[in-house]
């Protein structure tokens, strides 16, 4: 059996069968970040003294785009296939020539094969989204107190306005009445006549008078 095996080795030329599997993958990753900056809270301010903050909801839509390209643009490249045959360099126990584990023709290129790089001429991406932030004051008691103070301040403003309006109306009535007593007025139908249009003179009641009660 051993002799038959040796005869087959001597009769058949040595050959090398090499399986060369290549896998290439290229790509690019673009990381985009959206920064949400806390905005100032909305507040209601009355005059220069009272300012009350409230909850704030901020909605910010955004859209972004990226464009990338490679230079130089090489969709394929030529990959060399080397001669890795190993038929010589050592001998077996019977004196037959065998391979020694070192290629017989190192560096020899048998042929080249075309390999795709997967590279694209350009890449374009368009991204959009919405960010939302909701800010709430934690001390709600102070917010309620601030709103109560604001309501009181509004009442004071309204009372001050009513007082000034009363002073204006009394001054207008007195001036118009004095003019009527002095015998002149604005011409009827004129623009200034409207100021005293609702003022009229009446007989002043005489409070100082006496009555005689006859005795029976």
pLDDT digits (tens, 9 = 90+) for 56-101: 888 888 888 888 777 778 888 899 999 988 888 888 888 888 888 8
> Residue 37's pLDDT band (boundaries 50, 70, 90)?
confident
Cα angle: 147, vertex 151, 156; to 5 degrees: 145
Q: Over the chain, what is the mean pLDDT? A: 80
Q: How far is CA 191 from CA 194, 195, 196, in A?
A: 6, 8, 10
Neighbour-count burial for 142-163, b at 16+ CB within 10 Å, e otherwise: ebeebeeebeeeeeeeeeeeee
Query: What are 156-171's pLDDT values in tens digits?
Result: 999 999 999 999 999 9
> Residues 6 or more apart from 47 whose CB is under 8 A from it?
153
Q: Which whole number is the average pLDDT over 162-190?
A: 91
Cβ(74)–Cβ(24) below 8 Å: no
CA–CA separation, 162 vs 164, rounded Å?
5
Residue 16 pLDDT > 60: no
Contact 128, 37 (CB under 8 A): no
Share of the chain above pLDDT 70, in %: 79
- 82 with 107: CB under 8 angstroms? yes
Per the CB < 8 A criterion, the answer to whether 86 and 16 are in contact is yes
Q: Residue 109: pLDDT above 60?
A: yes
- State the CB neighbour count (10 A cutoff) for residue 15: 7
For tokens 């309204």, name the residue: 158
pTM for this model (two decimals) = 0.42
């Amino acid at each position: 059996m051993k002799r038959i095996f040796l005869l087959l080795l001597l009769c058949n030329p040595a050959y090398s069968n090499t399986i060369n599997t290549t896998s290439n993958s290229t790509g690019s990753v673009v990381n985009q970040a959206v920064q949400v900056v806390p905005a100032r809270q909305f507040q209601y301010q009355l005059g220069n003294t009272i300012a009350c903050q409230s909850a704030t909801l901020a909605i910010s839509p955004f859209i972004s785009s990226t464009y990338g390209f490679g230079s130089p643009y090489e969709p394929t490249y030529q990959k060399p296939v080397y001669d890795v045959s190993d038929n010589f360099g050592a001998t077996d126990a019977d004196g037959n020539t065998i391979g020694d584990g070192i290629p017989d023709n190192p560096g020899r290129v048998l042929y080249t094969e075309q390999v795709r790089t997967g590279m694209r001429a350009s890449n374009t991406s368009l991204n959009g989204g919405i960010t939302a932030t909701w800010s709430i004051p934690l001390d709600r008691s102070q917010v309620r107190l601030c709103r109560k103070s604001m309501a009181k301040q509004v009442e004071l403003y309204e009372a001050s306005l009513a007082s000034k309006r009363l002073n204006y109306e009394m001054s207008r009535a007195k001036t118009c009445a004095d003019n009527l007593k002095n015998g002149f007025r604005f011409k009827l139908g004129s623009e200034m006549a409207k100021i005293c249009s609702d003022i009229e003179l009446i007989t002043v009641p005489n409070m100082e008078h006496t009555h005689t009660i006859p005795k029976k």
